[in-house]
Amino acid sequence: MSYGTLYGVGVGPGAPDLLTLRAVRTLESVPVLALPRSSDYGRSMAWQIIEPVIRACPEQERLLLTFPMSKDPERIRPYFETAFSKIGERLERGQSVAFVTEGDPSVFSTFIYLRREAPKRWPGVTIEIVPGVTSITAVPAVTGIPLADGQERIAILPATYGVDDLADVLLKFDTVVLMKIGSEMPKVIEALKRTRLLDRAVFVSHATMAEQRIVRDLSELGAQRGDCFAMVIVSRKDRSGVLAGDVAFSSVADLAEERA
């Protein structure tokens, strides 16, 4: 069978002018845009990002697909099945489908599941990924905190899956990026206090979007639940890099003491 091409298109962290030229070209050239959203009645963030930028194409189909935010595989499986079969119908008709992903399609994206499933469902289908500006680089841009310099190491954690080892991670890595914060903010703050790194952490929500919010004093946030587009970036010391040398810590206590 001759399928259409399946694209995974990253459209950046929110500001429409952070779409790449390749993303715009791809989005304008396909007959079907697959637009994820988290509820049947909600808006698609992916569509909100691209709408101001892409040329109106009256013939183009905008296929809204619901993927609820849940950790329960049984709850989300039927939604994935529905989405895969709708995409499959179009690919089997020979239509190319661009699955639009906020940020980059390789970072905590539903497209990863689709990418894995596609060759089993549509053998020989061509898959192309268009990388996007990820929130992991957008947050350093809006806060002015570099991700890594010289020999520094970076850790990226999905906080909602647990932050019990956060103090150890903060010990081993120079920069820690906490994504998917959800209700874990109090635990994040607690671990930052334990390592005396609270003042080295910055909270950012909706980076690069009109609603962007940057909080440099995390104690202001209290038990507040992080929103869906929020991140905490922790940089454990001023940049070391190759020119300044590095400071090594052998234990959480050692690190906390240095910060005291």
CB of 233 to ligand SAM, least distance (A): 10
Distance CA 204, CA 98 (A): 29
Report the residue number whose CB is nearest to ligand SAM. Answer: 103
Quick one: 4 or 14, whose CB is closer to ligand SAM?
14
Quick one: 179 or 255, whose CB is closer to ligand SAM?
179
Inter-CA distances, 255 with 46, 48, 108, 195, 246, Å: 41, 43, 30, 7, 13
CB of 20 to ligand SAM, least distance (A): 13
Quick one: 172 or 213, whose CB is closer to ligand SAM?
213
Quick one: 4 or 134, whose CB is closer to ligand SAM?
134
Quick one: 104 or 174, whose CB is closer to ligand SAM?
104
CB of 113 to ligand SAM, least distance (A): 12
- In this structure, what are the phi and psi dihedrals at residue 176, rounded to the nearest 5 degrees? -120, 130
3-state secondary structure of 66: strand
Expressed in percent and rounded to 5, the helix, strand and coil fractions of the chain are: 40, 20, 40
CB of 58 to ligand SAM, least distance (A): 29
Strand pairing of 175-179 and 230-235? antiparallel
Quick one: 192 or 256, whose CB is closer to ligand SAM?
192
The string over 185-197, giving b where at least 16 C-beta atoms fall within 10 Å of a residue's C-beta and e elsewhere, is beebbebbebbbb
CB of 252 to ligand SAM, least distance (A): 25
Give the residues lining the site for ligand SAM (CB under 6 A): 13-14, 101-104, 107-109, 134-135, 138-139, 179-180, 204-209, 228-231
Inter-CA distances, 19 with 46, 182, 206, Å: 11, 26, 16
Quick one: 166 or 255, whose CB is closer to ligand SAM?
166
CB of 248 to ligand SAM, least distance (A): 29
Q: How many CB atoms are closer than 10 A to CB 31?
A: 16
Measure the N-to-C terminal CA separation of the chain; round to a whole number of Å. Answer: 66
Please provide the size of the chain in residues.
260
CB of 33 to ligand SAM, least distance (A): 17
